[in-house]
Amino acid sequence: MENSTTIRVRYKDTDQMGVVYNGNYFTWFEIGRVEFLRSLGIRYLDLEKLGVYTAVAEAYCKYIKPARYDDEVVIKTRIRR
């Protein structure tokens, strides 16, 4: 099960060299999680109203290629065992 969300790098997401600041990738991971749930017909807000909260137990990012201002970035989110 996988979902893809495309975002465009905003100027505010970049550092002085025009490269996305490394901490912003984790914000994008959150966007991916929320959009993944939405693709299943589940709004995170509705889960919270039911008293269901999710916690990120571990997050990891391997930086392979820099993203730059105005690039399109595809966030792929999936569940695996």
Please pick, among 15, 46, 70, 71, the residue that the annotation labels catalytic. Answer: 15
- Could you give the CA distance from residue 7 to residue 10 in angstroms, rounded to a whole number? 9
Burial group, residue 10, by CB count within 10 angstroms (0-12, 13-18, 19+): exposed
Per the annotation, the verdict on 46 as an active-site residue is no
Catalytic positions, please? Answer: 15
